[in-house]
C-alpha cells in the first residue's frame, strides 16, 4: 500500500430535516388541529483514530464527504429520522488542521480518540410547536438548518517508540530489517527509502515500534530533500537512534548537521521536543573498515561523542555495529531496551 501522510479534504455535515405542516384529519373528530412533527437532525462527521491504519491513502482518491441529511417530519406528530453519524477512520497520530494549516483542531495521538469535525444541522419544528391560545391552527413550519462544512488538512505523524534518523545511505533500513520483521527496500544509493517504514522490535521484556525515516540532509527543516514532514514523524517518537556511516570521513560534520536540523525544526515550532529526546548513537558498517583503522576511528568517535553529550541533552551512548553483517545487533537491542526503560 502506498504511503500517504497528508491530504486535503472537504466535509459537510447533514442538513436537518424540514418540519411538517400538517393537520389532523380523523373521521368523527370535529376539531382536528395541527399535528406536524419535527424534522430529524442532520448527521455529524467524526474522525476516529484506529491503530491498524498507517497511511492516509484513502483520502487521496476521495476528498469530498457528505453526511446524511435528516428526514422531514410528518403528520400525526411523527419526527423525521436523524442521519447516521459519518465516521472517518484515520491512523493514530493524525493531526486535523484548518484549510490554511494555521489552526490545529485536533491531535488524534491515541488509539480510539475521536473528534467531531462537523455538527449536523438541527431539524425544523413542525407546526404543532407553534400552536398557542391565540393561534389554534398555525400553518407554517421551520425548515431544517444546514450542517457545518469545512475544508481540512489531515497530516499524519506516525506514533512509534524509536525513530531512526541520519543521512541517506547510513544503513537505517538495514538496521530496521536486522532488528524487526520489516522488509524495507535496501539499495546502495541515496534516498532508497522514500516513505517512513514501521517495524516491531522484540526485546527480552517488551516490544518496541520502530520507524525508519527517509534520509535527512542540510536544510531539511526548510523542506529540502524529502522535507521537514519526516521530521514531524520523528517528533512523535520517544527515542532517537541516530545512525552514522562509519566508513565516511565526514561523519562528525554529518552528525552535527542532523542535530542542527532537529534544533531548527524545534525552533520553527517553538519547542524543544525533538532535539531533547533520548538519543542512542549507532556507528554502522564496522565490518567495511579494516580492524586497525576501525579501532583508531572508534577512539575519535568516542572523543567526539563525549564532547557532544555536553551539547546534546538526550545523548545516551555509542554503539558500533554492522547491520548487514549482524555484528553487535543483539547488543544494540539490549542497549535500546535498557536506555528506553531508564528514560521512561
Confidence grade of residue 141 (pLDDT, cut at 50, 70, 90): very high
Confidence grade of residue 309 (pLDDT, cut at 50, 70, 90): low
Dihedral (C-alpha) 44, 50, 56, 60: value to the nearest 10 degrees? Answer: -40
pLDDT of residue 221: 44
Q: Quick one: average pLDDT of 317-341?
A: 88
Burial degree of 204 (CB within 10 A; 0-12, 13-18, 19+):
exposed
Average pLDDT value over all residues in the chain:
84
User: Mind listing the domains of the chain with CATH numbers?
Assistant: 1-156 (2.70.210.12), 162-342 (3.40.50.300)
Confidence grade of residue 169 (pLDDT, cut at 50, 70, 90): confident
Give dist(CA 47, CA 318) in Å, integer: 42
E strands of 78-133, at which residues? 86-91, 94-97, 104-108, 114-118
- Say if residues 127 and 19 touch (Cβ distance below 8 Å): yes
Instruction: Find the distance separating the first CA and the last CA of the chain, reported in whole Å.
Output: 33
Confidence grade of residue 229 (pLDDT, cut at 50, 70, 90): low
Where is pLDDT greater, at 222 or 323? Answer: 323
Q: Report percent pLDDT > 70 for the chain.
A: 86
Give dist(CA 329, CA 158) in Å, integer: 25
Give the DSSP H or E segment for 199: strand 197-202
Contacts of 151 (CB under 8 A, 6+ apart): 8, 9, 10, 99
Question: C-alpha distances in angstroms, 125 versus 20, 82, 85, 86?
Answer: 7, 14, 21, 24
Confidence grade of residue 224 (pLDDT, cut at 50, 70, 90): very low
Amino acid at each position: 500500500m502506498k504511503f500517504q501522510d497528508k491530504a486535503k479534504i472537504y466535509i459537510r455535515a447533514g442538513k436537518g430535516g424540514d418540519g411538517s405542516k400538517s393537520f389532523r384529519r380523523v373521521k368523527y373528530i370535529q376539531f382536528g388541529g395541527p399535528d406536524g412533527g419535527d424534522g430529524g437532525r442532520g448527521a455529524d462527521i467524526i474522525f476516529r483514530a484506529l491503530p491498524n491504519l498507517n497511511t492516509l491513502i484513502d483520502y487521496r482518491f476521495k476528498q469530498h464527504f457528505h453526511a446524511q441529511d435528516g428526514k422531514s417530519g410528518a403528520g400525526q406528530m411523527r419526527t423525521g429520522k436523524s442521519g447516521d453519524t459519518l465516521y472517518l477512520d484515520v491512523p493514530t497520530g493524525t493531526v486535523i488542521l484548518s484549510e490554511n494549516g494555521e489552526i490545529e483542531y485536533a491531535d488524534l495521538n491515541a488509539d480510539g480518540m475521536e473528534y467531531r469535525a462537523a455538527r449536523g444541522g438541527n431539524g425544523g419544528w413542525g407546526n404543532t410547536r407553534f400552536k398557542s391560545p391565540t393561534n389554534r391552527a398555525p400553518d407554517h413550519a421551520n425548515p431544517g438548518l444546514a450542517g457545518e462544512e469545512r475544508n481540512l488538512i489531515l497530516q499524519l505523524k506516525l506514533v512509534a517508540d524509536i525513530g531512526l534518523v541520519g543521512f541517506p545511505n547510513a544503513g537505517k533500513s538495514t538496521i530496521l530489517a536486522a532488528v524487526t520483521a520489516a522488509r524495507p527496500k535496501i539499495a546502495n544509493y541515496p534516498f532508497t527509502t522514500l516513505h517512513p517504514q514501521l517495524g516491531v522490535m522484540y526485546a527480552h521484556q517488551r516490544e518496541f515500534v520502530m520507524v525508519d525515516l527517509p534520509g535527512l540532509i542540510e536544510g531539511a527543516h526548510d523542506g529540502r530533500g524529502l522535507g521537514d514532514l519526516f521530521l514531524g514523524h520523528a517528533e512523535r517518537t520517544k527515542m532517537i537512534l541516530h545512525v552514522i556511516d562509519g566508513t565516511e570521513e565526514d561523519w562528525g560534520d554529518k552528525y552535527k548537521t542532523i542535530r542542527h536540523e532537529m534544533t531548527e525544526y524545534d525552533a520553527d515550532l517553538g519547542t524543544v521536543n525533538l532535539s531533547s529526546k533520548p538519543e542512542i548513537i549507532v556507528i554502522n558498517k564496522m565490518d567495511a573498515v579494516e580492524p586497525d583503522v576501525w579501532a583508531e576511528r572508534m577512539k575519535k568517535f568516542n572523543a567526539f561523542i563525549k564532547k557532544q553529550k555536553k551539547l546534546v541533552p538526550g545523548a545516551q551512548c555509542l554503539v558500533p555495529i554492522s547491520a548487514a553483517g549482524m555484528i553487535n545487533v543483539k547488543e544494540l537491542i539490549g542497549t535500546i531496551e535498557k536506555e528506553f526503560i531508564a528514560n521512561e
